[in-house]
Amino acid sequence: MSSEQTFIAIKPDGVQRGLVSSIMSRFENKGYKLVGIKLTNASEGLLREHYADLTAKPFFPGLLNYMLSGPICAMVWEGKDAVKTGRVLLGATNPLAALPGTIRGDYAIDVGRNVCHGSDSVENAKKEIALWFKPTEIVSYTPAVFKWIYE
């Protein structure tokens, strides 16, 4: 399936550090298709829903403040195995454990400043895309290079 979609977000530290284009390039260069993008100040309500499974964690208040600290670049990337491979491109949650060549491995040090988010399952990707985007904000098109990326 080449139509799998994943939700990728460049967190406030990534935006402030001018890493938007570098992070987007990883997905573009791999061959994934950008189908949604916006720069947005997330509301606390949206973030509580987005991180609903983490609200009981001791780091949650810090995580909330971090995600509220500036604009986030929210994106939807589409392509074969986009969810799983998107996580590989991001690297491990703790940047010190993330391999060089991954986004977190190359651009971050602390787990609380790990510059990016990526959906961890197809089911969560669907939920997150619906949370961050209206259906009309997701576009459908066939890139001219499609046949040079997929056999």
Binding site for ligand IDP (CB under 6 A): 54, 59, 63, 93, 111-112, 114, 117, 120
15 alpha-carbon distance from chain centroid:
12
Q: Given the residues 73, 87, 117, 129, select the one marked as catalytic.
A: 117
Write down the least CB distance from residue 42 to Mg ion, Å: 15
- Integer Cα distance of 33 and 6 in angstroms: 11
Which of Mg ion, ligand IDP, none lies near 114, with the C-beta cut-off 5 to 8 A by kind?
ligand IDP
Which of Mg ion, ligand IDP, none lies near 33, with the C-beta cut-off 5 to 8 A by kind?
none
In three-state secondary structure terms, 122 is helix
**For residues 116 and 66, is the Cβ–Cβ distance under 8 A?**
no
Residue 117 is a catalytic residue? yes
C-alpha triplet 86, 10, 133: angle, nearest 5°: 85
Which spans of this chain sit near Mg ion (rule: CB under 5 A)?
Answer: 120
